[in-house]
């Protein structure tokens, strides 16, 4: 006999109570892990999208806040207030490569799709795109679309088929090679065509800028600000502000999960308190056999720790499974759209799992301290005479 | 008595209830020689079990001193008393007090766990003890699958788990039929022959007759 064996036999002697107490912890930890893992994926996707944008600086309408910066990364609709005149002035600044974007939305078979108006020739160079099927735009004003690889397969659109954007039927010219970023789920139109369709004549949403010498980023920001009265943000600043919003959302979700875990902890307290009452006589028997007070205390703490370990393990696995299975079905909005990424799904993070199990054990052990103390302080005679 | 393994001097025990004070022992002094077989008899509620609990370190006297092997129990802390119980004293109770979720062998092994006997050794010793009490084939049975007599024999095997000098028994035959009682009495006789010190709290005249020494307690006093 070992303490561990004794503990396992104790907690499994009432299977119903064991399962329901465990379920409390499983649900709490599963929701915690789900939120943590979704949050982790969100951050990873944001980093990936930021890299996929391929810009050191982004020029946005003056007064843009973090929400607009998130939208740049997600391909959401943005106000179109930057004029082509301003775009030309930005592009005239030395040592930079600047490309304008007009970001809009359309719906194909009732599903929202990101639309981007671009300067075809420049954008191909800026993004180093490759074509896997069909052709690329042959001119700057050619009415037609080029699709990201996921958009193409999602809507079964191939070169030769047609897509309707805001009531205008446009031929599919080609499909881009997978990039791993938002481009894969976007429909690209020549800027002039997009401006006409979306009635954004002479305006764009933002300008992505790549600086040839990264050391000159700060100087370049100043230069652009002197040239045009627009907001300029570096990719690092943008990441920082986007991540801070995501962080706030994550913390809120995790706090909700923490409440679930707290409720589960009280479930453990309840189970262990009941056990100390039910097993009062048994505690006396153990004391008569020579169990010290700290041994009795240890047995009860171990029992609640076991609940934490088993519940934490099952909860972490359930949470990971849920976040992996659920993420593709979460509705798109500025934040959750990242979860879809380019179809890579959630990543199983072993550190999150291990941390959650440890957290569950810690919570369970804390929950077991009071019942264990009650059990340990019973006098042997009082306990053994209990009927 | 120089050869005393158990010695008490002027023990009193007062229980403070919420409204009443109960004096369970009033100056009880006894000397029990090593290897003796003592029966403690007397009416119910007159302090027999209290005296046994105090001798076994399960309870502390309000006043007076207790010596086990010349060690004074009042000088020991709770951990010291627990160690004494695990190594030197075996308890047997009227209602067997086996752990219901464990098998017979596991019940015996659990007693060894607290004396830090290695797990492998526990298994061997538990089987040997169960064989000694005639229950070799019941090692894997749970208490609920055993008769009263068999349960009491498991309890005796458990009390012997750490080879204690002293066996303290509270009405060991109080809940048994006559056939089972005869089996337990035989077991007590053989344990006595092996040199164990037996102290049996009992109402059973047969046990009292077999004992070398009979101590009568009435109103908390040794007569």
Q: List per-block mean pLDDT (blocks of 10 residues) for chain A, which spans 387 residues.
A: 92 90 92 84 79 85 75 76 92 92 89 92 92 92 92 91 92 92 90 93 92 88 91 86 83 87 90 91 94 95 95 93 73 45 55 90 95 94 81
Residues 6+ apart with CB under 8 A from A341: A41, A45, A48
Residue A387, helix vs strand vs coil: coil
**Nearest residue of B to residue A293, measured between CA atoms:** B79
Residue ranges per domain, chain A?
3-47+242-384, 62-229
Does any CB of chain A come closer than 8 Å to the CB of residue B91? yes
Please check whether residue A288 is in contact with residue B96, taking contact to mean a CB–CB distance below 8 angstroms.
no
Between strands B63-68 and B4-16, the pairing is: antiparallel
Closest C-alpha to A338, from A50, A142, A104: A50
Candidates B53, B86, B119; nearest CB to A289 = B86
Per-residue pLDDT at A71: 75
Q: Which of B113, B118, B120, B201 is the best mutation test for A, with the most CBs of A within 10 A?
A: B113
Please check whether residue A195 is in contact with residue A83, taking contact to mean a CB–CB distance below 8 angstroms.
no
d(CA B68, CA B58): 13
Q: How many other CB atoms are there within 10 angstroms of residue B14's CB atom? A: 14
d(CA B119, CA A29): 35
Burial class (CB in 10 A: 0-12, 13-18, 19+), A26: buried
Could you read off the pLDDT of B35-91 as tens digits, one per residue? 999 999 999 999 999 999 999 999 999 999 999 998 999 899 999 999 999 999 999
Closest C-alpha to B131, from B110, B105, B149, B111: B105
Q: How many other CB atoms are there within 10 angstroms of residue B179's CB atom? A: 9
d(CA B187, CA B160): 12
If you search the block for the tokens 């050619």, which residue do you land on? Answer: A142
- How far, CA to CA in Å, does B25 sit from each of A29, B56, B92, B137, B168? 55, 15, 22, 43, 18
If you search the block for the tokens 């959401």, which residue do you land on? Answer: A76
d(CA A79, CA A64): 10
d(CA A269, CA A258): 16
Query: Does pLDDT of B1 surpass 60?
Result: no
**Nearest residue of B to residue A294, measured between CA atoms:** B79
What is the phi/psi pair of residue B32, to 5°?
A: -120, 120
Q: What's the distance, Cα to Cα, between the start and end of chain A in Å? A: 26
Closest C-alpha to B92, from B44, B152, B19, B43: B152
Does any CB of chain B come closer than 8 Å to the CB of residue A380? yes
Please check whether residue A167 is in contact with residue A199, taking contact to mean a CB–CB distance below 8 angstroms.
no
d(CA B223, CA B219): 10
Residue ranges in chain A assigned as alpha helix (H): 3-11, 15-53, 66-74, 84-91, 120-127, 149-154, 191-197, 217-227, 235-278, 280-288, 293-326, 337-340, 350-376, 380-384
d(CA B43, CA B21): 20
CB contact under 8 A, A1 and B58: no
- DSSP of B62-102: SEEEEEETTEEGGGS-HHHHHHHHHHTEEEE-TT----TTS
Q: How many other CB atoms are there within 10 angstroms of residue B220's CB atom? A: 23
A 242-281: CB under 8 A from B: 281
Per-residue pLDDT at A344: 45
Q: What is the ipTM of this complex?
A: 0.93
B64-98 residues labelled b (16+ CB within 10 A) or e (exposed)? bebbbeeeebeebebeebbbbbbebbbbbbbbbbb
The size of chain B, in residues, is 223
CB contact under 8 A, B85 and A13: no
Extract the tokens encoding A373: 């103390």
d(CA A87, CA A92): 9
Candidates A1, A9, A288; nearest CB to B91 = A288
At B2, the pLDDT band (50, 70, 90 cuts) reads low
CB contact under 8 A, B78 and A293: yes
Q: How far is CA A111 from the centre of its chain?
A: 21
CB contact under 8 A, A282 and B85: no
Please check whether residue A176 is in contact with residue A184, taking contact to mean a CB–CB distance below 8 angstroms.
yes
- Integer Rg of chain B from CA: 17
Q: Which of B48, B93, B107, B110 is the best mutation test for A, with the most CBs of A within 10 A?
A: B110
**Nearest residue of A to residue B107, measured between CA atoms:** A1
Query: Does pLDDT of B157 surpass 70?
Result: yes
Please check whether residue A360 is in contact with residue A308, taking contact to mean a CB–CB distance below 8 angstroms.
yes
**Nearest residue of A to residue B161, measured between CA atoms:** A289
Q: Which of B79, B87, B99, B166 is the best mutation test for A, with the most CBs of A within 10 A?
A: B99
d(CA A60, CA A200): 16
Q: Give A284's contacts in chain B (Cβ within 8 Å).
A: 97
Distance of residue B96 Cα from the nearest chain A Cα, in angstroms: 10
d(CA A324, CA A41): 10
Residue A129, helix vs strand vs coil: coil
Alpha-carbon dihedral B55, B56, B57, B62, rounded to 10 degrees: -30
Query: Does pLDDT of B13 surpass 50?
Result: yes
Does any CB of chain A come closer than 8 Å to the CB of residue B97? yes
Q: Which of A5, A288, A386 is the best mutation test for B, with the most CBs of B within 10 A?
A: A288
**Bridge partners, B30 (sequence order):** B8
The C-alpha angle A203, A90, A208, rounded to 5 degrees, equals 70
């Amino acid at each position: 006999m070992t303490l561990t064996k004794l503990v396992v036999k104790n907690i499994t002697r009432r299977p119903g109570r064991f399962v329901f107490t465990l379920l409390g912890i499983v649900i709490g930890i599963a929701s915690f892990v789900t939120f943590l893992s979704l949050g982790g994926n969100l951050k990873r996707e944001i980093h990936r999208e930021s890299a996929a944008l391929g810009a050191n600086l982004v020029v946005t309408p003056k007064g843009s806040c973090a929400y607009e910066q998130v939208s740049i990364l997600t391909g959401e609709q943005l106000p179109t207030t930057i004029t082509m005149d301003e775009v030309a002035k930005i592009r005239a600044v030395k040592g930079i490569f600047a490309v304008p974007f007009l970001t809009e939305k359309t719906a194909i078979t009732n599903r929202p799709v990101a639309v981007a108006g671009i300067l075809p020739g420049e954008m191909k160079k800026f993004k180093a795109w490759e074509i896997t099927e069909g052709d690329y735009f042959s001119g700057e004003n050619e009415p037609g679309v080029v699709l990201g690889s996921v958009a193409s397969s999602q809507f079964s659109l191939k070169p030769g088929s047609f897509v309707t954007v805001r009531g205008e039927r446009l031929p599919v010219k080609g499909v881009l090679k997978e990039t791993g970023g938002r481009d894969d789920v976007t429909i690209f139109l020549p800027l002039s065509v997009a401006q006409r369709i979306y009635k954004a004549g002479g305006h764009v949403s933002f300008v992505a800028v790549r600086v040839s010498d990264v050391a000159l980023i700060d100087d370049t920001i100043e230069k652009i600000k002197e040239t045009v009265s627009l907001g300029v943000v570096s990719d690092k600043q943008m990441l920082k502000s986007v991540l801070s919003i995501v962080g706030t959302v994550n913390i809120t979700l995790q706090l909700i999960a923490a409440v679930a875990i707290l409720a589960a902890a009280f479930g453990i307290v309840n189970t262990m308190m009941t056990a100390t009452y039910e097993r009062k006589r048994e505690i006396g028997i153990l004391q008569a056999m020579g169990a010290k007070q700290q041994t009795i205390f240890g047995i009860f703490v171990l029992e609640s720790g076991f609940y934490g370990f088993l519940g934490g393990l099952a909860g972490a696995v359930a949470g990971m499974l849920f976040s992996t299975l659920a993420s593709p079905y979460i509705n798109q909005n500025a934040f959750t759209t990242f979860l879809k990424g380019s179809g890579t799904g959630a990543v199983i993070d072993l550190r999150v799992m291990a941390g959650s199990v440890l957290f569950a054990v810690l919570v369970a052990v804390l929950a077991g301290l009071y019942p264990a103390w009650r059990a340990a302080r019973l006098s042997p005679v009082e306990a053994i005479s209990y009927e | 008595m120089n050869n005393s393994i158990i010695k008490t001097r002027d023990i009193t025990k007062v229980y403070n209830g919420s409204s009443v004070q109960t004096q369970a022992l009033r100056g009880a002094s006894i000397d029990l020689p090593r290897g003796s077989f003592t029966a403690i008899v007397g009416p119910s509620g007159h302090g027999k079990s209290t005296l046994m609990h105090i001798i076994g370190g399960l309870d502390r006297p309000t006043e007076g001193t207790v010596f086990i092997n010349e060690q004074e129990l009042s000088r020991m802390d709770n951990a010291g008393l627990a160690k004494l119980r695990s190594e030197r004293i075996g308890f047997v109770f009227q209602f067997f007090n086996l752990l219901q979720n464990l098998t017979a062998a596991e019940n015996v092994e659990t007693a060894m766990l607290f004396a830090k006997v290695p797990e492998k050794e526990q298994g061997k010793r538990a089987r040997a003890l169960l064989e000694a009490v005639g229950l070799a084939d019941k090692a894997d049975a749970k208490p609920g699958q055993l008769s009263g007599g068999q349960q009491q024999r498991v309890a005796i095997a458990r009390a012997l788990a750490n080879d204690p000098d002293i066996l303290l028994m509270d009405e060991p035959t109080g809940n048994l039929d006559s056939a089972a009682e005869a089996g337990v009495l035989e077991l007590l006789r053989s344990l006595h022959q092996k040199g164990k010190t037996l102290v049996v709290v009992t109402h059973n005249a047969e046990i009292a007759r077999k004992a070398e020494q009979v101590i009568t307690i009435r109103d908390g006093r040794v007569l």
